[in-house]
Structure 1
Amino acid sequence: MFEVVFAQTALLKKIVDAVRELNETVSLDISASGISLQTMDSSRVSLVTLLLRADSFGGTFKCDRSMTLGVNLKALTKLLKTAGNEDQTTLRAEDDASTLIIVIDSPKEGKVSSFELKLLDLNVEPLAVYDTDAKATVTMSSAEFSRICRDLGTIGDTVVIDAQKDGVSFSVTGDELSGNVTLRPSEAADDSESSVNLQIEEALQQSFALRFLNMFTKATPLSNTVILSLSPEQPFCVEYQIEDAGAIKYFLAPKIEDTE
């Protein structure tokens, strides 16, 4: 049997929103250590991984044996819209269950709602997760990264990220416009979330599809900061720490420019 309690449904809503644009059907791997998932978009260009540690739920996480639950995130989103952000949501599944039981407790309304979500048989093979030492790492405000991706996405389809020891730049060239945003290393004493931290072992310049980066920024509400990691000929990693609970990581293959 598996059971977990989200003290505030807001966290569960944010996690679902952060994953479902890449893939609406996912396999949740449940074990004594927590909840994890890996899934790719339909074009198999990007990968997202999620880890929520069992000990972060304050003793409300139970798992008698490991299990995999195939979940339709679009259907789960519809269900979660019935819950307030401060409501408590419990997820429960019996061994070899065909449904996921979802109980929403709304104490302010004196109401408890119970739903059953049909589980899917996805038969998904484990995916390879890239775990390489980054040569360039940028830690910055997640809201600022989201704003940059959104603004540059109105100009063109591809962003060039150039990480140097003295700063990181985001450049885009469209049919009629081009744009560039450069961030310098900074330490904001009164607001650490506004600081930009660079760890550069090797200067790197890589190109990525803005369409996917804008999908990744759906995780912005989960964390005030984002960690961008680049390595030569390796997928770009965009990581959001989820408070003390775990992390969500996105991986995106660099775009290879055509050469004649």
Structure 2
Amino acid sequence: MFEAKVEKASFFKKIVDAVKDLIEVANVECGDTGLSMQAMDSSHVSLVFLSISKKGFSFYRCDRARQMGINFGSLARILKCAANDDEFTLKHQIDDATVSCLLESKVADKVSEFAMNLLEIDEERLGIPDKEYDCKVTIPSIEFQRICRDLSKFSDTVSVKCSKDGIKFSAAGDNGTCNIVLGQSSCVDKSEASVVIDSKKTVELNLALSFLTTFTKATPLSTSVVLHLHHDMPLVVEYALEDCGHIKYYLAPKIEDDAER
């Protein structure tokens, strides 16, 4: 038997919203320590890694490890039926072809149950190297969302350059240019408003803004976002899920010929 419950459906809504525009279907791994999912978008330019430990659930039980093929669009439609404060539960019996989704109201005597068909998804789980990156930058997530939105008005490509002096975002197109520079800053009263830069060497990457903008759909999940940069390596955009896990987006840099188009 597998059963996982969250006190507020809004938590799971935000997670699914942060994934569904990149990943249509994926295998979710369920084990005794929690849930995880790793999948690439259809263009194989970005990869999403989601991890939720059992601490993120008000109740968690997994008697036997399993893999569930989930359609995230279908799951999003089910969660749209939930009030934010509804309890949300996933249940699955081993070898069942469906997973049960329960919504329980806290203000009324109401329980809604949905059966979602599981999918057979043949996908290779890629090994993600545990690498120390040259640059690590922590930015308020709302600020990063605003930067991506502003830059996308000028180009579909952004140049991100990080050094000890700061991090610079640049975009150029027919409408002009936009350069945004963030330096190290600290906010004593609100640590989540601080910009923290740890740079061992200067790194510059050209990246697709459409993907970065999609990544920022995880903004409601975390007050800050961490960017990991390394020369000729995918950018990692990491959002913490409070103290129970994270969503990491990996984005391959654009090669020079692509960036010039």
Band the TM-score falls in, shorter-chain normalisation: over 0.9
Deviation at 1:26, TM superposition (A): 1.3
Work out the number of aligned pairs and report it: 259
- In structure 1, distance between residues paired with 2:123 and 2:3: 23
Quick one: which amino acid aligns to residue 77 of structure 1? A
Partner in structure 2 of residue 57 of structure 1: 57
Q: Which amino acid aligns with 2:197?
A: L
Equivalent position of 1:76 in the other structure? 75
Deviation at 1:190, TM superposition (A): 2.0
Q: Could you tell me the TM-score, scaled by structure 2's length?
A: 0.97
Contact map agreement 2:85 2:106 (CA 8 A) in 1: no
Amino acid at match of 1:164: S
- Asked if 2 retains the 8 angstrom alpha-carbon contact of 1:158 and 1:172, the reply is yes
Opposite residue 228 of structure 2, the aligned amino acid is S
Shift of 1:75: 1.0
Deviation at residue 225 of structure 1 after TM alignment: 0.3
1:1-260 alignment to 2 at 5 Å? Answer: 1-58=1-58, 60-258=59-257
Shift of 1:176: 2.4
Over aligned residue pairs, what C-alpha RMSD do you find?
1.3
1:104-129 Cα shifts (integer Å, max 9, x gaps): 10021221111100111112221232
Measured after TM superposition, the shift of residue 256 of structure 1 is 1.0
CA distance in 1, matches of 2:48, 2:241: 14
- Normalised TM-score (structure 1): 0.97
Aligned-residue sequence identity (percent) comes to 43
Contact 1:130–1:235 (Cα < 8 Å) also in 2:
no
- Segments of 5+ residues of structure 2 without an aligned counterpart are none
Asked whether the 8 Å contact 1:34–1:53 carries over to 2, the reply is: yes
Task: Report the AA paired with residue 28 of structure 1.
Answer: V
The one-letter code of the counterpart of 1:87 is D
| Deviation (angstroms), 1:56 | 3.2
* Residue segments in structure 1 that go unaligned for 5+ positions in a row: none
